[in-house]
Structure 1
Amino acid sequence: MSVYTPLSRQQMSALLADYGFQLVDFRGASHGIENSTFLIEARDPQGQPSPLVLTVFETLEPDALTPYLELLAQLADHEHLPVPAPLPAPDGHWQCRVANKAAVLMPRLPGDHDFAVDAHRCRQVGALLARLHQCPVNTLAPLPGERERLAGLTEQLRHLPDQWQNAARECLTRWQATPAGQTLIHGDLFRDNLLWQDGQISALLDFYNACLDHPEYDLAVTLNDWCVDEAGKPVAARQTALLDAYREQGGTVDDARLTLALQVAALRFWLSRLAGPVAEQSEGQGSKDPAEFARIFAWRTQGLD
């Protein structure tokens, strides 16, 4: 995740000291585009190595961040998913402030980013999504809905090429006209939001697009990253592997809803990348290329490149 808010060693040391940690070293993470994330080597009060992650939120304010942190704590504590739970700040809350922005410190789970993709990995991703989608939602704090995020992106439709204006508006209108589902979804399960260790998933990261909606939408977001080639064309073997594992772990799929969701999810990230931050001063990845999802949208709507 790119760094939009650089922090000095003095700032980092002072923040960690409040939590009882001693800074050894830190660096900005290189994946993602929304927040500033730092990978930290530290020592705990007993002097033992303690890898940590600090996320500084570029747009989310404390009140908006709270339900996501409650979700992370619940998933890590009760659902036995490989999800990092926030560490309590000195005041007992799960967030702090640094550089006048909301921030969260978490333990760094084992594993590394690995962007290789094949049918075996897609099966693991499908099984993980099935487990997530079966989590109870009755005790969750209200989360912002993906439908509201989509509505906020409609202004970007005017920036699409003329030949895609009608198809984009039609699929978005059809999706928004259907009631939202009540399944907990991740909403952003791209390859840079998983860590791997010894060929197995070791961590599921970045729940800041999580919400309640249809599981097919979460599947669509995931399939559009994991199961397409560089031209945006669906790769049938990967898609079949992911969906088969999802069903084997108890997930159910409405095929008609998934077909529409694949279009909407491609359009959502095309539009959000058009609207995304252009980070001339950022360290790391910065904004991603909207054309990637233009190609995926073309394949999902008409099978064209």
Structure 2
Amino acid sequence: MSVYTPLSHAQLADVLTPFGFQLRDYHAASHGIENSTFLIEARDRHGQPSPLVLTVFESLDPTALAPYLTLLEHLAEQHLPVPAPLPNADGKDQITVAGKPAVLMPRLPGQHDFAVDADRCRQVGTLLARLHASDTSSLQPLPSERERLHDFSDHLRRLPEAERDTAAALLLDWLAQPAGSTLIHGDLFRDNLLWEDGQISALLDFYNACLDHPEYDLAVALNDWCVDAHGQIEPEREQALLSAYREQGRNVDHSRLCEALAVAALRFWLSRLAGPVSDHSEGQGSKDPEEFARIYRQRLKALTV
């Protein structure tokens, strides 16, 4: 992740002490654009190596963050490859760092690897099917992706003038439909998975998770995993992801998926046009909006054929 809240060695050491860890080394992660994330090498009370991740949240307040932490604990208990927050000596899993809410988690094994092929797409489809089958009855209410989409509609003015009306109509139609009740990740890009020996080892960054139609989650993933650099669909990868999803007993509404593909592409085009959290960050910052402009145009063309 990009870093908007730099922390010194001494500051991080102070953060770890109430959790019973001793800081050895750390560096800022470089993927993502919303929060400040630090990859930490530490030792536990017994002197054993303990790789950790500290995330400092730049936009979520403590109240808004709490349901996501409950969700992570819930998913980890269901044996999904998700890191659960660690409690400190007072039993709290949410802390304050530099005046902002923060969470310390174990660093799951694996590395970022942005290679993509049909086999990896099959794994993504299987993982999404498992996530979508999760029991949500005990979860705290999560923010709605529909609310985020409504907020992003304020940025339609940033689009080329010739495309604004069509984009506005697409969003209006999607938002007029009732939301679904399936737990979705909402942000399953390649930078939110870790890999080890060619297998998915961790699913990260649930801070766009919500209840909605599974087709929207599939659309977000398909728009990253199954298109080429020009926004063109890669049929083999797309078929691999959707087939693996269906093989887990999950159904896909084709009509809804086609619309969701265009909506999801528009959503990330608008969010990238909206820019990073801060103009002064160490790391990646905001990603290229034109990538999703190309994908959106392809998905919209397919929708209107």
TM-score bracket for the superposition, by shorter chain length: over 0.9
Match of 1:284 in 2: 283
Q: Distance in 2 between matches of 1:224 and 1:276?
A: 20
Q: Distance in 1 between matches of 2:40 and 2:172?
A: 44
Note the C-alpha offset of 1:3. 0.6
Q: Distance in 2 between matches of 1:26 and 1:99?
A: 17
2:108 is aligned with 1:101: no
2:120 is aligned with 1:121: yes
Match of 1:230 in 2: 229
Give the AA of the match of 2:9: R
Match of 1:62 in 2: 62
Q: Distance in 1 between matches of 2:168 and 2:194?
A: 35
Give the AA of the match of 2:94: Q
Note the C-alpha offset of 1:151. 0.6
Please say if residues 33 and 277 of structure 2, whose CA atoms lie closer than 8 Å, have aligned partners that are also in contact. Answer: no
Match of 1:273 in 2: 272
Give the AA of the match of 2:71: L
**CA offsets 1:40-97 (integer angstroms, 9 cap, x no match):** 00000000000000000001010000000000001001x1100000001232121101
Match of 1:220 in 2: 219
Please say if residues 58 and 277 of structure 2, whose CA atoms lie closer than 8 Å, have aligned partners that are also in contact. Answer: no
Match of 1:264 in 2: 263
- 3-state SS of 1:264 partner: helix
Q: Distance in 2 between matches of 1:259 and 1:90?
A: 49
Q: Distance in 2 between matches of 1:29 and 1:133?
A: 28
**Moved segments of 4+, more than 6 Å:** none
Please say if residues 215 and 256 of structure 2, whose CA atoms lie closer than 8 Å, have aligned partners that are also in contact. Answer: yes
Q: Distance in 1 between matches of 2:111 and 2:44?
A: 22
Q: Where do 1:28-177 residues align within 5 Å?
A: 28-77=28-77, 79-177=78-176
- 3-state SS of 2:157 partner: helix
Give the AA of the match of 1:64: A
Give the AA of the match of 2:113: D
Uncovered stretches (5+) of structure 2, i.e. residues with no partner: none
Q: Distance in 1 between matches of 2:156 and 2:167?
A: 8
Please say if residues 228 and 235 of structure 1, whose CA atoms lie closer than 8 Å, have aligned partners that are also in contact. Answer: yes
Match of 1:10 in 2: 10
Q: Distance in 1 between matches of 2:210 and 2:221?
A: 15
Q: TM-score if structure 2 supplies the norm length?
A: 0.98
**CA offsets 1:121-167 (integer angstroms, 9 cap, x no match):** 00000000000000011111000000000011111001100221122
**How many matched pairs?**
303
**CA offsets 1:276-302 (integer angstroms, 9 cap, x no match):** 326442111111111111000000011
Please say if residues 68 and 206 of structure 2, whose CA atoms lie closer than 8 Å, have aligned partners that are also in contact. Answer: yes
Match of 2:27 in 1: 27
Note the C-alpha offset of 1:303. 5.4
Please say if residues 4 and 279 of structure 1, whose CA atoms lie closer than 8 Å, have aligned partners that are also in contact. Answer: yes
Give the AA of the match of 1:106: M
Q: Distance in 2 between matches of 1:154 and 1:115?
A: 30
Uncovered stretches (5+) of structure 1, i.e. residues with no partner: none
Please say if residues 185 and 212 of structure 1, whose CA atoms lie closer than 8 Å, have aligned partners that are also in contact. Answer: yes
Give the AA of the match of 1:221: V
Q: Distance in 2 between matches of 1:90 and 1:300?
A: 50
Give the AA of the match of 2:14: A
Q: Distance in 1 between matches of 2:167 and 2:223?
A: 16
Q: Where do 1:185-224 residues align within 5 Å?
A: 185-224=184-223
Please say if residues 279 and 287 of structure 1, whose CA atoms lie closer than 8 Å, have aligned partners that are also in contact. Answer: no
Please say if residues 5 and 36 of structure 2, whose CA atoms lie closer than 8 Å, have aligned partners that are also in contact. Answer: yes
Q: Distance in 2 between matches of 1:63 and 1:7?
A: 23
- 3-state SS of 1:153 partner: helix
